[in-house]
Structure 1
Amino acid sequence: MLTDLVDDASALAEVDDPLEAELAGALFVAMSRAGGEEIMAAFAGAFIPAIEARGTRAALTLLTAIGAMGGEAEKPVTEAARAASARMRANSVPAPTWADDLAQPLTAGPFTRMHDDQDIMSVLIGVFQRAGRDHALMITVDHQHCGAAEQIYLLDAEELPTAVAAIHQGARQDGVKISTKKLGAPEFRWHVEQALEARAVHDEEDGPNDDAPVDANLLDEEEGPGYAPLAVLTRSRLETLPPTRRPRGATASGHAADRTAMDVLQQFAALIGNSGGPAAFGLDLPPARRPAPAKLPAKRKKSNGPAPIYQIKVGLRGAKPPIWRRLLVPGDITLNRLHQTILAAFGWHGGHLHVFDTAYGQFGRADRDLGHRSDGPVTLEQVAPAIKDKFRYTYDFGDDWEHDILVEKTAPADPATTYPVCIGGRRAAPPDDCGGIWGYQDLIEVLTDPSHPEHQERLEWLGLDHRDQFTPDTFDLDQVNQRLRTR
């Protein structure tokens, strides 16, 4: 059995991304953790030395993957694996190809917490980077179930905006308001630790399912690693962050199971064989429930003459006091160009996903999974053909900056005017990436209170020397039009 276990791990030596190897190590550690302290001691004192005794590159690969985990609760196993790995490297056993990448420092951030207005569920998101590769951990938390972690998703960083967009879109369709807050690393760590600890208590109360051939908590035969190894990986990531800002709650003890260490190891060997090798998996979201949109009107033809100029008011939803811009744009401006215009008018930097919600469908970057059609060929007058027509524009599916767009009136173009142009507005727009409306309100509170512990940190984040430079109540028309001319 031990031979099969090590041989199955030999393929891990050549994987491109060390994250795959880390998941194998996390699965091994999760198996030992599930058996409680006695079985963890057996893993550390018997099975780790037995793997080391194989003396092969495959054995070193498995031990390196196990030793990469860094959670406090798993130290007996992970420290034994690290010590064994060091001895094997000293004896010139070849290291896996990803060992150098794994040795590079892990950086982290940004961190985000999304929650519904009833505080029934929340989602904690952390992005991590190593050796030029980014990945994200997304932890869903059930606040009706003691604030326990419900599921952990491991995503490529490129998949994260789509996953966040799907959460917001589903919430809007269900009439649920989602609030978003950017977290510091210590806050993120505290929230995740609380959720993992609550889940650990529940899992201990439920106990292991000894009748199941494969524990779904350890491995989903279709999706890959289950909750338990992903929790080990998550705890390992948390260990790289600054200490939690708030005191930790009571920790749950390990399972008092009847299984022997050999029972656990046999199941682990079966899991490795059944899984076809650990791999990261994406967030499998249900298809969105969208009513069929109206048919998009045809584009203006040359024979129809030049397009009129639209006067539109773009208001930021949820802003109190109101924040808005009044713009003059050609009626045949494309929605993509209108997107760029709104970015300039509000001072958004860009770089995030966006979507226009109209009576004729949703337009942004084409995405079949989200049901978004390309906004490149679609014009403003197609989706808002009449005065008083309204539609919505959302920028940054994490911060969720929602804007209401109202067509106030139309008029012939003035040959002396270069469009688009801003003719009015109120208040400065929030800075990009500050956590949505809720985060902006928190930012204002922090910057107006010099005694706040985060005051200086937020000033530095904004590139300001003094709080007097932060003027959320001002609107600079000339500055807005300068950005419009250079956009």
Structure 2
Amino acid sequence: MLNDVQPTLADLRAMLADQGAPEEALRLVDAARHVPDALERLTAAGFVQPVAELAMAFLDGFSPLLEPGCGPLDAELAASEFLGAMAETTDPQDFPDMVAALIADAEATGRPEALALARSFAVLAPPEVRPIAAQAADRLVASGLHDPKWARTVGKPTVGACFGYADPRGAQEGLALTFSYGRKSHVLVLLIDHDLGGLKDCFVSDQPKEIRAGYVHAAEELGFPFREYTPEQARRIVADVLEREPCPVEPDQVEDVTTNLALLEQRLELLPEAPRTALDTSVHRLKVTLRGSKPPIWRRVEVPSSTSLVRLHQAIQDLFAWEDYHLWVFDTPLGEYGMPDPELGHGDAATVTLADVASRPKDRIGYLYDFGDAWDHDILVEDVVQAEPGVAYPRCLTGRRAAPPEDSGGIWGYADLCDVLADPEHPEHAERLEWLELDSAADFDPAAFDADEVNEYLSRVAKVPIKP
């Protein structure tokens, strides 16, 4: 049914032409990508009255929501798709006002389609606009219109199973959120890209069992752990993702995210929130030192105490400008954690937090990166403090000296590299410069360290535990 709820530019153009709109208005519609884009262009050009009439044409697209077979999910998908298209061409600050104005114009028609729009927008529109939509719907009912059957349950599905899997490096994660209206279940399928920053794809399926089977199979084939999440855990993941800008890449991903983002934001509200604890707002101050480095190479960083070890691994990669090419493992009092590997005895680093393995000041854990070069790090907990309001973590406070380049042979190989680069007469000098892709040895400074540059990398995954 969703595909039938598509306001078309052709219909809108024909209506304007029938009303005798000037050629300039028609050209603006021709240049638009979709109905909301046309409305914005016409409004900016000053065609106030035509826009008010034009805005009503899309109500025909909501006619399928009045059919007997329409359910609450159909209404939600229609509203989410329309709001997503509208948001694409609207300034975020103006978006709530534009939606409110659209509801008012729709109500003024007194049409049953306006009631369907208002009831669906009362669930999916920006939170500050929902009461406006609900009140408009109530007035339309008071005027004699009848609510569609789905109006009683829309926006109130039952929360079901949440599951997913992630690559052990923690770069990409698949998450599925199941909901049901009576016996009819549906699932929101999310692809999260932590490297790019946030939500990469999001679509809706009415086949949760098949999605689950596909996830189990994919995780098994790839050697990744399949995970069951509590709704509280799923909420934490989704809330964290939605704090960042979506990052779709392929055209179909852009369309999916645009279409389903409003629905996802509404479904997040249905997931229960875990009780907030002191751990959620505490921060570990760590000193991470590359063992064997002389002079010492180290970083001082603050990370949320609830950070999983896989996320700590990613932070250390940014702290030392590593490229995450190689295997890694943490050595902790509870055992070794990295990419889950029963043969090596490595547990899943995504299932253990920093607070689990090093809860107090002076606690220590180890981190080994690249089993060949053996970049071994000592991690000392210097303090555990409360997060500062408005501050995003992780954040690097200070450090000393540049990190060794990838594949430079471990501590001894790096020391040799520094000696070779410092001696222009060395027979390997030119070869090492070429390997580092440098024009001159002056471009290589082992004493250099820039905390701002490190924090720029960390900002991709940093979040604010305590809002200001």
Please indicate the TM-score interval, normalised by the length of the shorter structure.
0.3 to 0.5
**Which structure exhibits the higher relative contact order, with contacts defined as CA atoms closer than 8 Å and separated by 6 or more residues?**
1
State the TM-score, normalized to the length of structure 2.
Answer: 0.44
- The structure in which a higher percent of residues are helix is 2
